């Protein structure tokens, strides 16, 4: 195997596949990148038995062949080489030689025949979405995915297609994020829960462009195809939360507020809420809605803080406690200038909604405040 390519070109390919490399495994082959040539292309593949990533790139192939090389060592060497032409070849001792200007590295390789094949997916349902739209949908929901392995179904996002509408939902037991779009092309109704880890990697690979991503779903696997890259992942088993029954349809109190103003207030209040004195303890903030005004406050051993905002209010006065981080996670990803924040009682969920497009809903459960 002999190939010639530019540093930046192969580095882009390596960066796209490296997250499919196994980090904790008893199989050294899974710590490697499979390099295969095909005419004037090379294909890089990684697979940790849960997520597999393939990337195809054009280059000058002087001699066909294949090999597996340790991903970390290979990527770090390529990353630190100058941005110029690199010669990569497999010598008679089965060492991978990397030559660039005055640099020469020789790396041990593994047998490519031992590298496990990516699952063959028999696609039952598929949709196509613009990359910029999918990127936005992931960004607005991924932060609410659960990290609790005891409830694996919630470590992923639900992708649900119903009546030609794609809805992506994440939930972690304390909050829920939902983003929806209408699809341009006709599609069957179906749903699948995609691991959050996979969606994080897909989000890094796709660009903020109008190019499309094809998402294919089989019985227990999902496939994301974009440009010259392909991501294969398992689908999470289990019954996802029936989100339609959880999101309140009515509100008792609603405010309309400038998104940046309330975000800045929560960020400042968080300085007191996330106490540096008692690092293990997080204090809720109190949100108090009166006519034309919302007051956000927090008191603990570090000190106390209060922020007042003049806002448009509807309904009853209200007082409830919340984790400020949950508010901030949502507000940071909303592009709208103004948002609606809807409350029920002081023990029922709060909703944050985009006003302009009505395509994003975020729900937070309150925290019971201590009696003063």
pTM tops 0.75, yes or no: yes
Residue 92, class by beta-carbon neighbours within 10 Å (0-12 exposed, 13-18 middle, 19+ buried)?
exposed
Report the greatest alpha carbon distance in the chain. 81
Domains assigned to the chain: 2-114 (3.10.150.10), 125-243 (3.10.150.10), 247-364 (3.10.150.10)
pLDDT per residue rounded down to tens, the chain (372 residues): 999 999 999 999 999 999 999 988 889 999 999 999 999 999 999 999 999 999 999 999 999 999 999 999 999 999 999 999 999 999 999 999 999 998 999 999 999 999 999 999 999 999 999 999 999 999 999 999 999 988 999 999 999 999 999 999 999 989 999 999 999 888 999 999 999 999 999 999 999 999 999 999 999 999 999 989 999 999 999 999 999 999 999 999 999 999 999 999 999 998 887 754 454 456 789 999 999 999 999 988 888 999 999 999 999 999 999 999 999 999 999 999 999 999 999 999 999 998 887 889 999 999 988 764
Dist. CA 143–CA 125, nearest whole Å: 27
Of 119, 120, 109, 118, nearest to 29 by C-alpha is 109
């Amino acid at each position: 195997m002999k190939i010639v390519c530019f540093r930046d070109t192969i580095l882009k390919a390596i960066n796209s596949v490296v997250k499919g490399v196994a980090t904790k495994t008893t199989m050294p082959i899974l710590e490697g990148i499979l390099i295969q040539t095909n005419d004037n292309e090379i294909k890089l593949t990684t697979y940790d038995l849960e997520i597999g990533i393939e990337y195809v790139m054009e280059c000058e192939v002087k001699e066909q062949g294949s090999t597996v090389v340790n991903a970390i060592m290979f990527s770090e060497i390529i990353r630190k080489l100058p941005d110029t032409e690199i010669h990569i070849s497999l010598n008679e001792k089965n060492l991978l030689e990397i030559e660039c200007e005055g640099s020469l590295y020789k790396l041990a390789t593994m047998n490519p025949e031992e590298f496990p094949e990516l699952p063959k997916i028999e696609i039952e349902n598929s949709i196509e979405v613009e990359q910029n739209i999918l990127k936005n949908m992931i960004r607005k929901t991924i932060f609410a995915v659960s990290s609790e392995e005891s409830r694996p179904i919630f470590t992923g996002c639900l992708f649900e297609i119903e009546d030609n509408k794609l809805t992506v939902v994440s939930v972690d037991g304390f909050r829920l994020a939902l983003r929806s779009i209408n699809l341009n092309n006709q599609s069957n109704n179906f749903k699948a829960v995609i691991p959050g880890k996979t969606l994080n990697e897909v989000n890094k690979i796709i660009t903020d462009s109008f190019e499309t991503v094809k998402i294919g779903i089989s019985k227990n696997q999902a496939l994301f195809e974009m440009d010259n890259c392909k991501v294969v992942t398992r689908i999470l088993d289990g019954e996802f939360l029936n989100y339609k029954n959880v999101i309140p349809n009515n509100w008792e109190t609603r405010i309309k507020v400038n998104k940046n103003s309330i975000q800045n207030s929560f960020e400042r209040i968080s300085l007191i809420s996330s106490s540096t004195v008692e690092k293990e303890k997080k204090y809720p903030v109190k949100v108090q809605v009166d006519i034309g005004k919302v007051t956000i406050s927090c008191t603990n051993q570090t000190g106390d803080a209060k922020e007042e905002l003049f806002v448009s209010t509807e309904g009853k006065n209200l007082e409830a406690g919340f984790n400020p981080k949950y508010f901030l996670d949502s507000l940071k990803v909303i592009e709208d200038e103004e948002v609606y924040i809807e409350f029920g009682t002081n023990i029922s969920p709060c909703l944050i909604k985009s006003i302009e497009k009505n395509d994003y809903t975020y729900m937070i459960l309150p925290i019971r405040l201590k009696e003063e």
